[in-house]
Amino acid sequence: MIFKILLQQKWTLILLISAPILFIIIGYQFIDRTTDDIKVPVALVDPYEQNITEQLLSDMSTDESFNITHATSIPEEVLERGEVEAIFVLPEDLEGKIRAGELEGTIQWYRHERSVFDGLFKEQLASAIMTRAIRSEAANLVQRYQSDADWNEIYEYGLRYLEPEPIFQIQFESVQQQISQVNHDSEDWLLFRWLFWIFIWSILAFLTQLLLNWKEQNIFERLSTIGHANSLRKAWFFTFLVLLAILTVFTSVGIQTLWLSSYNWMTVAIDVGIVIFSLLIYYLLSFVIQKRETLWTIALTYGVSASVVFFLIQYNLLSFNWWFSIFLPSWILV
Amino acid sequence: MLTLENITYKKRGQTLLSQINGEINRGDCVTLFGPNGAGKSTLIKIMAGLVKPSKGKRSIQPEHKNPIGYVPQQTALFKGLTVRDQIKYYQKLTKPKSNEFIDDMILSLGLSQILNKRIEQLSGGMKRKVNLAVGMVHQPELLLLDEAFVGVDLAAKHDMLTWLRKLNNQGTTIVFITHDWYVIQHLQPTMWVLDHGVMIDQVEWDSVPYLNLNRQSQALQKMFDVNMGSVR
């Protein structure tokens, strides 16, 4: 019967069913965005729209460590706001300068005091230009001694003998992986479990309203006269116990798999435990609370207090005490 | 069947009922009559066993399990469920003796046409009928109705009263609260007249004109005057 009534609460039902899907989609987007964030954002500005810029970008495209914005102009505020780590501005007739070997001070490199990894891009860019400069130098040398040789042909094949290496190389990929792993373990994963608890806590407040409505309508009184005072309350409790436990298992396993590529049953058990205790709190409250306003005040006060305690412990502003266990989200940090 | 001995009920230091005595036998029809605040709803809840008296004793001698049918003032029905589902739910809980009784009830109260409708889709009068029906699904020996006829149109009221009269004639004990003289005339009950938590008198409904109300509140006097007009 509870299911039949629940079927009429369309929005609650939609939210309940869509919760795991929603959390996994949000989680996936979050991970995707995080991956973008750890790419070094740089801007390559070519005010003269030269062909060589495209070639340079193509040479560097194999390195996915950079998020390169290619433009003909870019405001310096972008750099100040930290949207890019550095701006590299190419000079006019870059190709001519490369062929002539006039490379000193040709590229302007704008950076911020907070810029860290832009030096790596500078090396990549320098390497791409130097490759061309050396091939050009090789072609110039050959043509000096063999005037009938085709400059373009020598330039094309010059790298067979003179491939330069970047000045220094770093295992950028492994640094990225390390950052990503630490981030997910310590913050994002816990944050998402807290977020899921907030969702369940709010949904339960809605579902508890059913009990308050039945109380207000004297349904419990009527049931009491036929010796079934608590049967409806128990049906409510066990129906949502099963429903929410299944929902939590799916969500917990889904998010763990997404974040950590595997799942731990102990973590799933803790998540299910938190949800069951939340349900129990509302179940017990339904005996003493008469008004919806009181229910929402308690739900809001506890939800906010528990979240504050969770974040204070999470960011080491509060050391964990056993009595913090009364705030359910703190169990996530165990 | 139901005996009340010196029932007193106090709440937050206020005496809502004082020294109520009375006996209701099988097949009786009784109305609790009096102005607002007289203690009628509290008394019917004490009869139903929903409220425990501060002093005194309420005793009931039932013949079967689940002897009481309680129809509260509000329509105590589940939103979102059809009339059929509501009846089935109580049927499942109480396991009534005969389905024939339920079929007869549905027919007599004119519920056949609305069995598949959800409660929200029903008019106020229809809701009241369903409210009455679910209170009687288990064929109770004692039916307690707390203002069950409020907001019911005459046609619906007629159906309800005819059914109740039939049940009463078959031996079901009925106790009800109403301010509606039409209901009283139809069911012809014994009236327990209450005022300020005190039992004024227990009289047959047609003896009311001879009641001496000189020492009672104006509200109670006015109730009788308005309801009976020239009779008094």
> Is the CB of residue A228 less than 8 Å away from at least one CB of chain B?
yes
Looking at chain B from residue 83 to 112, which residues have their Cβ under 8 Å from any Cβ of chain A?
85, 89-90, 93-94
Residues A122, A45, single domain; the answer is yes
Q: A209 and A94, same structural domain?
A: no
Q: Which domain holds residue A277?
A: 2-33+183-333
Which of B65, B118, B135 lies closest to A222 in CB terms?
B135
Cβ within 8 Å, pair A225-B85 = no
- A214 and A149 both lie in a single domain: no
> What Å distances lie between residue A163 and A88, A124, A130, A168, CA to CA?
24, 14, 9, 15
Mean pLDDT by 10 residues, chain A (334 residues): 72 72 71 61 88 84 78 81 83 84 77 77 82 81 80 74 49 37 55 88 90 89 87 91 92 81 86 95 93 93 93 81 86 82
Please state the ipTM of this predicted complex. 0.84
Same-domain check for residues A191 and A317 = yes
Contact B53, B46 (CB under 8 A): yes
- Point out the domain boundary residue: A145, A174, A203: A174
Residue/partner pairs of A134-139 with CB below 8 Å, 24 or more apart: A134/A158, A134/A159, A134/A162, A134/A164, A135/A159, A135/A162, A136/A98, A136/A99, A136/A101, A137/A101, A138/A162
Q: How many domains does chain A have?
A: 2
Q: Could you tell me which residues are beta bridge partners of residue A66? A: A40
List of chain B residues whose C-beta atoms are within 8 Å of the C-beta of residue A221? 45, 48, 50, 70, 72, 76
CATH superfamily of the B2-229 domain = P-loop containing nucleotide triphosphate hydrolases (3.40.50.300)
Residues of chain A numbered 59-88 and touching chain B (CB < 8 Å): none
pLDDT tens digits for B145-174? 999 888 888 888 998 999 999 999 999 999
Residue that finishes a domain, picked among A122, A139, A174: A174
> DSSP label at A91?
P
Residues A23 and A116 in one domain: no
Task: Name the residue of chain A whose CA is nearest to B68's CA.
Answer: A225
The token duo for B37 is 């605040």
Nearest to B70 among A216, A217, A221 (CB): A221
CATH number at residue A75: 3.40.190
Based on the domain organization, do A152 and A114 belong to the same domain?
Answer: yes
If you ran DSSP here, which 8-state letter would residue B74 be given? Answer: S
Q: Which two tokens stand for residue A122?
A: 């500078």
The confidence score (pLDDT) of residue A181 equals 41
Contact A186, A313 (CB under 8 A): no
Interface test with B, best of A222, A232, A236 (most B CBs within 10 A): A222
Residue A123 and residue A165 share a domain: yes
Q: DSSP alpha helices (H): ranges in chain B?
A: 40-48, 83-94, 99-108, 124-136, 154-169, 181-187, 218-228
B118: chain A residues, CB-CB within 8 Å = 8
Contact A255, A29 (CB under 8 A): no
Confidence (pLDDT) at B232: 47
